Structure 1
Amino acid sequence: MSGSGTFAFTVHPRGRLREDLARAWRPLGLVPEAVYDAALRRLPLPPVTMATAQIGGERVGDVVLVPFGARHLLADVVGGRRRVGQAVDRAVALGADVVGLGALTATVTAGGMTLGERTDIGVTNGNAFTAAIVEDQIRLLLDRTAGGGSRPHIAIVGASGSVGSAVTRLLARDPAGARLTLIARTAPRLDALAADVADSVEVAVAHTIDAVADADLVVLLTASADTLLGPQHLAPGAVVLDATQPRNTSPDLRVQRPDVLIVDGGIVSVPSLRLRGGDIGLPDGRSYACFAETAILALTGHRGHFSLGNPTLERIDEIRARARELSHLGFRAAEPTSFGAPIALESRSAVIA
């Protein structure tokens, strides 16, 4: 990997603060949840380097923890942006060439747009490769779960967001007979997106989660700190691709609706990837697509910003080309899992492997 650079990737505690902070240092799992909630909100805690990343046996990057939980970031955007900025400062101090914004650290910085004036490090929100991997997963699920049926119905929840709008445009570029329902709260952006793709694909818009009720495939791409999708929302035998972090499905949904298949979205296979010192909730050899995008940029020598705001189709095509340069290292959609457990896809069904 001569000529490549190094990267940093920002993360934050998600739904369960104690559980996520214990990933950085196991004894932290002994502290009550309420103590963490108060401490993270009130104390000016600095970002910390929680892990180093190795690919192909070489150190290639670092994971930087932003000490602000998911709900804190959404409730205090100004404070969240300040803390993300401090994490980017730490990435610079670590010598990183590019920093990736994980989960809600991208959301509170408007997809990295508030960091666009920085010239000391390249910034990416990871959404270009996330959209690419989600599209790959959608097409896999349609191919292997549609049972030969015609005109599959795909509902995209969070369609007006950065990843959601990109996935919509990717599917419109080659709709393969599918029809789309785009769901988001922001009517003007949603309507504009639907108008842009209407000549290429059959499309409808909606503003509540109830619109997924007759979808064959529900794609979750929202930025929410709370579980959103319930058993009452889904059609019999529906497939759900949850590409959110924090995720918007609960393991309880599998018990309440055993007919529904829930697939982990945006997961990438990088067989030689190892994190030392902490983890981001995935086993060795797997990463989130936003993390993978950051690594791809560093390993292929990219300098400067990459994905800020909404990724264009050109950016998505570019990151796919860069991933192909690293195909010997993986960087492709991982084999499907449900809440981390491998699944074997069959026509209109799946079984836990």
Structure 2
Amino acid sequence: MSSPRTFAFTVHPRARLSEDMARVWAPLGHVPERVYATALRRLPVPPISMAAIHIGGSQVGHVVLVPFGARHLLAEPGAGRDRVHRAVDKARGLGCSTVGLGALTATVTGGGVSLRARTDIGVTNGNAFTAAIVDDQARMLLDHVGQLGSAHVAVVGATGSVGSAVTRLLARDRAAGRLTLVARSAGRLDALAAEVGRQVPAVAATSIEAVADADLVILLTASADALLAPQHLRGGAVVLDATQPRNTSPDLVTVRPDVLVVDGGVVAIPSLRLVGGNIGLPDGHAYACFAETALLALSGHDGHFSIGVPSLELVDHTRALAAEQSHLGFQAAAPTSFGRPVDLATRTLAVA
């Protein structure tokens, strides 16, 4: 194994800009939302090193904030891409050898494709380990209810980078009895359904309504066209939501108390601490895309890793890296729903 490296992980403000900017410096939370909405879009605000990353008691990297909100990144992907490229420059300036692309910073760079020509820093979109963790969580949920290998599983965002890998994993190991694959691109969707249909029965659909009789819905797209609503789900359904920004609301379980929503793609790294800011998770927890970047740095990886759609070989490789670093954790976190611990046996949340 090569010597450990340092890494950076890029993030951006999500739905409420003032709330997320307060993670950088508490007084920023008092700035009106409308001021941020205008200022972050129009002013050349530089990327910000918002937190130092510590694992195992040592500093191993930095969280770099891209000062562009989620709505801005979706509405102005070209400008957003430029902001992400500047954040990667910042990461290199901090001495990092690898940078991971968090949330929509991966989306606007085509899963890192627009950064492929860089030779001064390795890039990963984190989607290989994300697919591994979501697959692990899906199997855990299905096994808990005695449906591993027999359940009807719907994957929303099936043709995306994570979605296609998760779909192939479920089919390869026959973890589902049948699959409903939902995405907007009919051509790619039909091809994926035909591919995995050789292993498990699979159908393709371009409407979210197709998940109506699924036992487990795996949500892997933040598209505004795929908002999961109470009427879309059958009685007793389980939703594994691995979107960031997420595509479910706490109101869903209020209106449909029979439905269980589980937070997807969260990894336990007990010694993880962010000093100077946070990314919306408690100490000891990280998103799987973050964890993939950490695994690469800790293992001494050089160069790019997961760019675009990850192959199953890359997914399996991240599992091997996680096994090597198992003394630090790097396992799927205990199940939570909107951040609150959930008892799968009773399908109840911990009291707030």
Q: State whether TM-score is above 0.5.
A: yes
CA deviation string 1:99-155 (max 9, x = no partner): 000000000000000100000000000000000000000000001134x59721101
Q: Does 1:35 align with 2:32?
A: no
Match of 1:267 in 2: 266
CA deviation string 1:328-347 (max 9, x = no partner): 0000100000000001112x
Q: Contact 2:172–2:199 (CA<8 Å) still a contact in 1?
A: yes
The CA distance in 2 between the partners of 1:154 and 1:109, in whole Å, is 29
* Amino acid across the alignment from 1:197: V
Match of 2:215 in 1: 216
Over 3 Å counting, the alpha-carbon distance change for 1:209 and 1:326 in structure 2 is: same
Match of 2:236 in 1: 237
Match of 1:159 in 2: 158
Q: Does 1:192 align with 2:213?
A: no
Give the secondary-structure state (helix, strand or coil) at the position aligned to 2:22: helix
Q: Does 1:125 align with 2:125?
A: yes
State the shift of 1:225 in Å: 6.1
Q: How does 1:165-176 map to 2 (within 5 A)?
A: 165-176=164-175
* Amino acid across the alignment from 1:289: A
The CA distance in 2 between the partners of 1:46 and 1:306, in whole Å, is 26
State the shift of 1:197 in Å: 1.1
Q: How does 1:245-324 map to 2 (within 5 A)?
A: 245-324=244-323
Q: Contact 1:227–1:250 (CA<8 Å) still a contact in 2?
A: no
Give the secondary-structure state (helix, strand or coil) at the position aligned to 1:318: helix
CA deviation string 1:67-89 (max 9, x = no partner): 00111001111101100000000
Match of 2:49 in 1: 49
State the shift of 1:224 in Å: 2.9
CA deviation string 1:5-27 (max 9, x = no partner): 00000000011111111111111
State the shift of 1:351 in Å: 1.4
The CA distance in 1 between the partners of 2:280 and 2:141, in whole Å, is 24
Match of 1:61 in 2: 61
Match of 2:347 in 1: 350
* Amino acid across the alignment from 1:351: T
Where does structure 1 lack aligned partners over 5 or more consecutive residues? none
The CA distance in 1 between the partners of 2:341 and 2:52, in whole Å, is 26
Q: Does 1:88 align with 2:88?
A: yes
Give the secondary-structure state (helix, strand or coil) at the position aligned to 1:24: coil
Match of 1:13 in 2: 13
Over 3 Å counting, the alpha-carbon distance change for 1:350 and 1:129 in structure 2 is: same
CA deviation string 1:296-319 (max 9, x = no partner): 000000000000000000101111
* Amino acid across the alignment from 2:222: A
State the shift of 1:54 in Å: 0.2
Give the secondary-structure state (helix, strand or coil) at the position aligned to 1:163: helix
The CA distance in 2 between the partners of 1:7 and 1:305, in whole Å, is 12
The CA distance in 1 between the partners of 2:111 and 2:216, in whole Å, is 26
Give the secondary-structure state (helix, strand or coil) at the position aligned to 2:91: helix
Over 3 Å counting, the alpha-carbon distance change for 1:297 and 1:149 in structure 2 is: closer
Q: Contact 1:15–1:70 (CA<8 Å) still a contact in 2?
A: yes
Over 3 Å counting, the alpha-carbon distance change for 1:232 and 1:322 in structure 2 is: same
Over 3 Å counting, the alpha-carbon distance change for 1:150 and 1:175 in structure 2 is: closer
Q: Contact 2:149–2:174 (CA<8 Å) still a contact in 1?
A: no
Q: Contact 1:71–1:225 (CA<8 Å) still a contact in 2?
A: no
Q: Structure 2 length normalisation: TM-score?
A: 0.97
Give the secondary-structure state (helix, strand or coil) at the position aligned to 2:314: helix
State the shift of 1:178 in Å: 1.8
Match of 2:77 in 1: 77
* Amino acid across the alignment from 2:207: T
The CA distance in 2 between the partners of 1:124 and 1:149, in whole Å, is 31
CA deviation string 1:38-63 (max 9, x = no partner): 11111111100000100010000100
Q: Does 1:107 align with 2:104?
A: no
Aligned sequence identity (%): 69
* Amino acid across the alignment from 2:29: G
Q: Contact 1:227–1:247 (CA<8 Å) still a contact in 2?
A: no
Give the secondary-structure state (helix, strand or coil) at the position aligned to 1:23: coil
Give the secondary-structure state (helix, strand or coil) at the position aligned to 1:154: strand
* Amino acid across the alignment from 1:242: D
The CA distance in 2 between the partners of 1:97 and 1:59, in whole Å, is 14
Over 3 Å counting, the alpha-carbon distance change for 1:35 and 1:141 in structure 2 is: same
Aligned length: 350
The CA distance in 2 between the partners of 1:249 and 1:11, in whole Å, is 20
Over 3 Å counting, the alpha-carbon distance change for 1:226 and 1:184 in structure 2 is: closer
State the shift of 1:249 in Å: 0.5
Over 3 Å counting, the alpha-carbon distance change for 1:162 and 1:153 in structure 2 is: same
Q: Which moved more, 1:80-89 or 1:34-43?
A: 34-43
CA RMSD for the aligned pairs?
1.4
State the shift of 1:176 in Å: 3.3
State the shift of 1:254 in Å: 1.3
The CA distance in 2 between the partners of 1:223 and 1:212, in whole Å, is 16
* Amino acid across the alignment from 1:307: S
State the shift of 1:2 in Å: 8.5
